[in-house]
Amino acid sequence: MEESGLNPHYSIHSARHTYGTYLYYTTQNLRYVQKQLGRSNITMTSLFADVMPSENGRLANMIRKVG
């Protein structure tokens, strides 16, 4: 993170969750998100749908603004 000049607050783990949130928001397909993240259990993947569902769209759109 240091070499890239990104805020050290960010991590690969947070990028993974951001990617999962973006995928879920754009596809609304938990099974697809599960496969993309390489998870064997849908229970953990379902957190993308359960945690702040009204915020998923706003969070996913923030990704587009950063890039």
Residue 8 token pair: 């050290």
pLDDT value of position 30: 87
Residue 16 has pLDDT above 80, yes or no: yes
Q: Which residue has the tokens 């754009």?
A: 26
pLDDT in tens, 19-54: 888 888 888 888 898 999 898 888 878 877 776 556
Residue 58 has pLDDT above 80, yes or no: no
All structural domains of the chain with their residue ranges: 12-66
pLDDT value of position 42: 83
- Say whether pTM exceeds 0.95: no
8 A C-beta contact, residue 37 and residue 20: yes
